[in-house]
Amino acid sequence: MNFVAHREGVNGISWGPSTEPAMLTKSSQNEDKKFSLPQKRIVSGGNDKHVKIWEFREGDLPPREQTIGLHDDWVRDVAWCSSIGLQFDMISSCSEDKTCKVWKHD
């Protein structure tokens, strides 16, 4: 699958967690319910200064896109928080603008 993520080039990507945020904090009162994994996601950062989340669903081309942040210069790298147990996703990005930012994504 090919798609244009950032018109001026991509500098960093990171796979989203393979578990749902707060999976360990949810009570399993109904044992009949099956746990479902979240959609496949990546976060990307590029020369257009944007930090974007891409969600891959069956049959969707291109994948669903959501811009979650913006820097003042090229985004050099992105990383998805690998810890679980939070009520939300956390993503970090660093840029040529000499900043590192942490993004909270619900």
pLDDT in tens, 20-50: 655 555 555 555 566 666 678 999 999 999 9
Cα torsion 7, 77, 51, 15: sign:
positive
Q: How many CB atoms sit inside 10 A of residue 100's CB?
A: 12
Query: How wide is the angle at C-alpha 82 spanned by C-alphas 13 and 59, nearest 5°?
Result: 55
**pTM score of the predicted model:** 0.78
**What residue ranges do the domains of the chain occupy?**
10-19+38-105
Would you give the distance in Å from CA 49 to the centre of its chain?
Answer: 16
Give CA–CA dist 5/53, Å, rounded: 10
Locate 26 and state its tokens.
């949810």
- Mean pLDDT (the chain) is 84
- pLDDT, residue 39, reads 78
